[in-house]
Amino acid sequence: MTFLSLLKVALHRLRSRVLLSLLVLFTMALTVTLTVCIPAFSGAVSLRMMQEEIDKRSDVKGLPVFAVEITAEPTDRSPMTLPDIERAHDRFRDLSERELRLPLSSTGFEMESPVYRLAPQDDGTRYNTNYLAGVRVVAVAGAGNVVEITEGAALGNVPDSDRLAVWINEAFLNDMAMQVGERYLLGGIYSSADEGIPIEILGAFRVLPGAFESRSLAGRYGRDLLTTPDQFDRHISPEIPESTLYVAWHYVFDESRLNLSRAESYIAALQGIERQARRELPAGRMGIGPMEELLRGHQRKISLSLVLYGFTLPTLIFLLTFAASLSAMQARYQEQEIATLVSRGATPSHILGLAGAETIVMMLMAVPLGTALGLLLALGLGYAGSFLTFVAREPLTVTLSSVDWLPVFAVVGANLGVRLVTAWRVRGLTIVTHSHQATRQKHKRTALTVFYMFVLGAITVYAYRQLQQRGVLALGSLDALDPRNDPLLLLAPTLFLFSVPLFALELFEAVAAILGFLGRFIPSTTAYLGLVNLARGGSYLRLPTYVLIMSLSMGVFYASMARSADIWLVDTQRYAHGADLTFKVGPKEDAVGASSPGMLTVPTVPEEEFLTLSGVHGATRVGDFQASVHGAREVAYVRLLAINRATFPQVAYYRSDYAASSLGELMNRLAETSDGILM
């Protein structure tokens, strides 16, 4: 039997029961959805945190996440002309794309001159000085993505003139009371008044927010003159031995193709690019590169993915179990077809090939559907404020590139394995054996099944007792070899969710058997047949009943877990501060503005005056000190808080499960001992 014939028969079998096939398809798509959603959401959250870190480091909001700057400082022995700079730009652009395997969204370079003296022309009577300001001339390739021309000629629209065409920052233009079209001279700091490079201001610009190059445009370029590389090469380079004092190449990569799981390979590639820059360029180095942010983002993605996979594991197993139930149901409906094929000479490999072809057809539709649903789910999770509560906020950057496909392939393989195991169980079914089995089905409880239930129950009880003794669902550290770590603590909820429905299922079968026996004594024929069929059809009802019990248990578990997480988050903030509003009192400055050494002056405002403020219900004074244990060498510094025991209970957040005693009793105990410390 060829593959095309198997595929034809598989499509016919799937069309014969469309609703059941669609249900199997949707179950497979849901397993793919969860495995796609977790890394996509973790990567999007880590990417947002990387953006915040980079913005904080650069003091500019909205900078690209993956931007690289390579710099060089030419000398008179190693000058760099404009053709040299352009060749280096192309060289490192190709090297970066090849090593990082990420597409570039924008590139450019800049050239910088020494500091010049901006001076008026001799024929002008407007200024009474020959020194207006110290400025540099900066040429930026691709500056149209960096600045916006607010007045004058467009950037790059240079007339045929012997003067250097420049554009000036509009803030600097207004501060110096200059105008577009005016002409000045650029001279050395110690040159004579009539020497210099003639320039003409063709326009004014302002820095575009969020551009990578703009991180320093507002500062370094705030008093500098902007020009084109050709103008720089024509007027500035011949005046200095180095041709240019400073060069920087900028490369911005498409962050939508970024996968933080490959952060280590990105870092290795960036280190290789920096080594190449040091070898090829004068004083070459990588001025800016997101190495630290990539490493932290990689660690955050792994940690968040592990936590989410840990909580999602019961759902994944449940979906696989449900898929097994549907596959068994589908195989039951197709038993007569399989028996006919086997009776006509079909081998077990034909039956397995037929099941595999059906699974491949459904997976070809389930994987794209599940991937799309997973990305949408990850995007929707970005709007979650708490359990079943969503808020309006800036959407996360969810991309297909951040998906880890290894778990997806594992889920696809698991679904394929479930289908093949189901087909393997009926591989030798003939018409005769099918007719014999159809008369009566009964589940046989083997010794292996009993042993499995006993082991699962024992492990579940042990994990529950360990969790009860420790009192917290957490590991001692992130080190897998740490002896304090017990992996069963993280698996305790999953073990409980799967073992309790299993034992409940055994109880259900026992009750069904008892009802089937009692049905013999019921005079009603309908009741008798119903109870007897219920007892005899236990093997068919085991898996659906198990799935039903487990789905109800999982709904309660996830709802309680989400609600507990919301309460924990609120309590964490309350426990950290205790009050709704806190503030610290710093050292008092003397007349010259310096703090007195060793002296801390605290305002003596009575606490009662704070109570006169609108909305204040309680106030107390708390002293925060750093202390050490006398005579202990290996004990770290501790935080010592000095409180007013009479007013502290009025503002402190306290809960009955914090301690066995009330807060008032603890305050009284603290007052009874003059040298006592409340831990």
Mean pLDDT of 426-441: 52
Mean pLDDT of 274-282: 93
Mean pLDDT of 56-64: 66
Give the residue from 554, 574, 576, 578 showing the smallest Cα distance to 566. Answer: 574
154, amino acid identity: A
**Could you read off the pLDDT of 13-58 as tens digits, one per residue?**
777 778 888 888 898 899 999 999 999 998 888 888 888 887 776 6
pLDDT of residue 18: 81
pLDDT of residue 89: 93
Range scoring the smallest mean pLDDT among 218-232, 572-586, 595-609 = 595-609
| Cα–Cα distance for residue pair 161/76, rounded to 1 Å | 28
Mean pLDDT of 498-521: 81
Residue that wins the pLDDT comparison between 179 and 11? 179
Confidence of residue 604 (pLDDT cuts 50, 70, 90): low
pLDDT of residue 3: 63
The residue ranges of DSSP E strands in 277-383, in sequence order, are 285-288
Count CA within 13 A, CB hemisphere, residue 607. 13
Average pLDDT along the chain: 79
pLDDT of residue 351: 72
pLDDT of residue 377: 92
253, 102 Cβ separation under 8 angstroms: yes
CA torsion sign, 320 to 321 to 322 to 326? Answer: positive
71, amino acid identity: T
**Could you read off the pLDDT of 314-353 as tens digits, one per residue?**
788 888 877 777 777 776 666 666 666 666 666 767 777 7
Assess whether pLDDT exceeds 50 at residue 120. Answer: yes
Please report, rounded to a whole number, the percentage of residues in the chain having pLDDT higher than 90. 14
Q: In the structure encoding, which two tokens stand for residue 27, read together?
A: 């179950």
pLDDT of residue 589: 46
Give the residue from 131, 317, 136 showing the smallest Cα distance to 219. Answer: 136
Please report, rounded to a whole number, the percentage of residues in the chain having pLDDT higher than 70. 79
| Cα–Cα distance for residue pair 247/78, rounded to 1 Å | 13
Using DSSP bridges, classify how beta strands 137-140 and 133-135 pair: parallel, antiparallel or unpaired.
unpaired
pTM for this structure?
0.67
Buried b (16+ CB within 10 A) or exposed e, 513-543: eebbeebeeeeeeeebeebeebbbbbeebbb
Give the residue from 324, 359, 366 showing the smallest Cα distance to 25. Answer: 366
| Cα–Cα distance for residue pair 296/449, rounded to 1 Å | 46
Residue that wins the pLDDT comparison between 630 and 197? 197
Q: In the structure encoding, which two tokens stand for residue 566, read together?
A: 């919301």
Phi and psi at residue 579, to the nearest 5°: -120, 165
CA torsion sign, 530 to 531 to 536 to 542? Answer: positive
pLDDT of residue 497: 78
Dihedral angle over CA of 573, 576, 582, 587, nearest 10 = -140
Count CA within 13 A, CB hemisphere, residue 657. 3
399, 257 Cβ separation under 8 angstroms: yes
Confidence of residue 87 (pLDDT cuts 50, 70, 90): very high
612, amino acid identity: T
114, 245 Cβ separation under 8 angstroms: yes
Q: In the structure encoding, which two tokens stand for residue 580, read together?
A: 């709704």
Helix, strand or coil for residue 528?
A: helix
Assess whether pLDDT exceeds 70 at residue 670. Answer: yes
Assess whether pLDDT exceeds 90 at residue 140. Answer: no
141, 109 Cβ separation under 8 angstroms: yes
| Cα–Cα distance for residue pair 437/426, rounded to 1 Å | 11
Using DSSP bridges, classify how beta strands 164-169 and 197-207 pair: parallel, antiparallel or unpaired.
parallel
pLDDT of residue 369: 93
Residue that wins the pLDDT comparison between 381 and 506? 381
Using DSSP bridges, classify how beta strands 183-187 and 638-643 pair: parallel, antiparallel or unpaired.
unpaired
Confidence of residue 480 (pLDDT cuts 50, 70, 90): very low
pLDDT of residue 635: 64
Measured CA to CA in angstroms, residue 445 lies from 161, 244, 301, 442, 534 at distances of: 98, 85, 44, 10, 18
Mean pLDDT of 572-577: 72
Confidence of residue 191 (pLDDT cuts 50, 70, 90): low
115, 135 Cβ separation under 8 angstroms: yes
